[in-house]
Each structure stands twice: as structure tokens, then as C-alpha cells.
Amino acid sequence: MIYKNVCIVGAGSIGGWLGAGLARAGCSVSFLARGETLKALQTQGLRLQSNGQPEQTHAVQASHNAAELGAQDLLIIAVKAPALREVAQQIAPLLGKDTVVLTAMNGVPWWFLQGFGGSLANHALSSVDATGEIAAAIPSAHIIGGVVHASCSVASPGVIRHAFGNKIIVGEPSGQPTGQVTPRVAALAALFEKAGFEAPIAEQIQRDIWFKLWGNMTMNPVSAITGATSSQVLDDDLVRGFCANVMLEAKEIGLRLGITIDQQPEDRHAVTRKLGSFKTSMLQDVEAGKAVELDALVGAVKELGQLTQVATPYTDALFGLARLHARVHGLY
């Protein structure tokens, strides 16, 4: 399979970073965008500055109207979860018969239990797709899962700064045992490698989603509530202990789904410390007055706890406090 025409929905930090790499690889890259970002992409192109290197500018197509862009070989969804329902209602013109849809988002996606989870396989998660509109708009056969490990930010509309990390893990939602990689995933991984990314293929992409979530499902909402940096959160013994208890609940849920995490919370905290003191993406969203991704990061874990019969008192407390904080500030 050849991915020549690529459209990215979400010209933010990750979407812009991926788009720049794919443009370098020779793809015809377009963005479904709006507002100041749309204007910047149309007039100044997509600009990326990475690891102290000179800024690079890439000519891309951009429109607020999916019909103007037409059916794509590859559609990358890189929006924050709260925007996904609206996006799903707009993208039909981008989907052809064989279009691959790669989700490059934080948290638990709506398709998480697609062919996965034993007795829960194909169960719809109401926490992330309450009305079923997302699943209806993006048929499951199109989906490939993605997990991004990179730190990027938006300096201004259409201008992306890449700090560190260069990996995007890809995999079929229904799994792909070693030696049985599907052609479309193999071609996608090869494209990302050509674009300069590390692109390992996951045997079960849900495992990689859950492991990434295990680290950021606490740090993000705690920082959003308190305004604290990562170091400030970890330096408080009581708060770090609370986060550890949330993580232990998620670890047990994962185990019942068939996802084993061999680390303890303190192991993951040590990894976070090595990244330095930073503001989480959710805290940045709060400060910018943007909707927060609580349902995908915490609400879905609460729901999966109910489905797997794991008690989640600490997760429930975190979700309730973060949700109330976001509602009071008009962000949920």
C-alpha cells in the first residue's frame, strides 16, 4: 500500500510535527484546519524548528472544508479528545474505500476494545463516545492505532517546536502477532521511518496506549487542578502517594484486560523526574482556557474499572475533583 496523499486533522503540536516529517518524505500533505491556524498554513506554510536546528518551512494545502481536500490515502487524527465528536461529523469527504485512519491522540480511544479485552471485546466505551457518533463516522475497518512519544509545542499558529522524542508506535487494533504484520501497517511504519521517525510496530497497540496512559492519567489532571509543575507534584509525598494509588488501580484494570505492567508507580515517577520540571499539556490547556481531556485520560479508566469489576476509589476521586475544577472554569 502506498500513502501518497495525507491529510492531518489537528494542526497542533503533534499533528504539525508529523506533517512536517511526512512532507519531507515526499507526501502531499494537507490539513483540515480553521481560524488563525488555517490562515497561517495557507499564507506561510507549516514551520518546524527541531532540536536547535534551523527552522524548516513546508508548503502544505489547508482548508476548513474537507470536501475541498477529497479522499485521502492516510488520514491522521491528532486533535484533543474533546474536539473529536465535531471532527467526526466533518471528515466523511476525506474517507475513501481504502483510506487508513491513524489516531495519534492521548488517552483511551473510542475503539480501544475493538477486537480486544476478552469478554469485553468490541464493547463501546460511553465515556469517550457517548452517542456512538464517532464510531459511526469512522468505520472500524479504517483504523490503525498510534502512540506518540515526543515533546512538541505550538509557538504560534502553524509554527511547531519539537523538543525531544521521535517515536510513533503503530499497530492494528485487533492485534498482529510477530511475523504476521498486515501490509498496511508495514507500509505505514516504513513511511514514518522514511520521514525520520522511529516507528516500531506493536504486537498489541492497546498495551502501548495503556502504558503511556499509566503515566499521564495522574500527572495531567493533578497539575491542572493545582497549577503545579511535574516536579512540584512529585515532590509532595502525599500527592505522589495519591497518584501511586490511582496508578495501582489502573494497573489492576490492565491486568484484567490482558495488559501486564511490570513496573511500580515509583519506577514511572523516576522516569518522569528525568524529564525535568515541566507543565503538563492539560495544565497548559487550562491556562489557555481550552477544554481538557478528562474523559479520555481518567473517565475511561473509571468506566473500564466498572467493566472489569475493579474498585477505583482513588481514580473516582481524581476524576471528580478534576471534572469539578474544569466545570467551574468552563473547560468541561
pLDDT at position 177 is: 64
Which of 39, 212, 279, 290 is the catalytic position?
A: 212
pTM: 0.95
Pairing of strands 56-58, 46-50: antiparallel
Domains, the chain: 5-203 (3.40.50.720), 207-328 (1.10.1040.10)
Residue 212 annotated to the active site? yes
165 CB-near residues (< 8 Å, 6+ apart) = 148, 149, 150, 151
pLDDT at position 96 is: 97
pLDDT at position 303 is: 98
pLDDT at position 101 is: 98
Residue found by looking up cell 461529523 in the block: 89
Task: Report the 10 Å Cβ neighbour count for 182.
Answer: 15
What is the residue-level pLDDT of the chain in tens, covering all 332 positions? 899 999 999 999 999 999 999 999 999 999 999 999 999 999 999 999 997 789 999 999 999 999 999 999 999 999 999 999 999 999 999 999 999 999 999 999 999 999 899 899 999 999 999 999 999 999 999 999 999 999 999 999 999 999 899 999 999 998 766 668 999 999 999 999 999 999 999 999 999 999 999 989 999 999 999 999 999 999 999 999 999 999 999 999 999 999 999 999 999 999 999 988 999 999 999 999 999 999 999 999 999 999 999 999 999 999 999 999 999 999 99
pLDDT at position 180 is: 85
Angle between helices 313-328 and 300-308 (to 10 degrees): 150
